[in-house]
Amino acid sequence: MCESYGAYVKTEHSNFCFVNPIDVSIVVIDDIILILQQNRLRWYGHVLRKEDTDWVKKYMEYEVESTRPRGRPKRTWKEVVQKDCQARSLNKEDAMDRGRWKKLIKIG
């Protein structure tokens, strides 16, 4: 165990003992980012496997035709998911096999 001034973090793979509390926040933030990425990819795979006539799939591909406000455009959900897929070298064909997709997006 850690001394009274340290932080103790238990994960699936091992136990960590940090003397500096800043290290704990970095580990927790990284874990949260990975969990959010996994959840986005899980939903993305679910939608890709739906039929083409399903309203959720139709609106995922829908492009709004209007003018954007000035400044840098906001990042869309689709852009974030594409970046997640590139980071893990995933493509749409991988999502069609549910079991394989589940293994590919699993954390760790």
CA distance linking residue 94 with residue 28, whole number of Å: 29
**How would you write 2-67 as a 3-class SS string?**
CCCCCEEEECCCCEEEECCHHHHHHHHHHHHHHHHHHHHHHHHHHHHCCCCCCHHHHHHCCCCCCC
Name the pTM for this structure.
0.68
**What's the gap between Cα 61 and its chain centre?**
19
Q: Enumerate residue ranges in the chain where pLDDT < 50.
A: 1-6
Tens of pLDDT, residues 80-108: 999 999 999 999 999 999 999 999 998 75
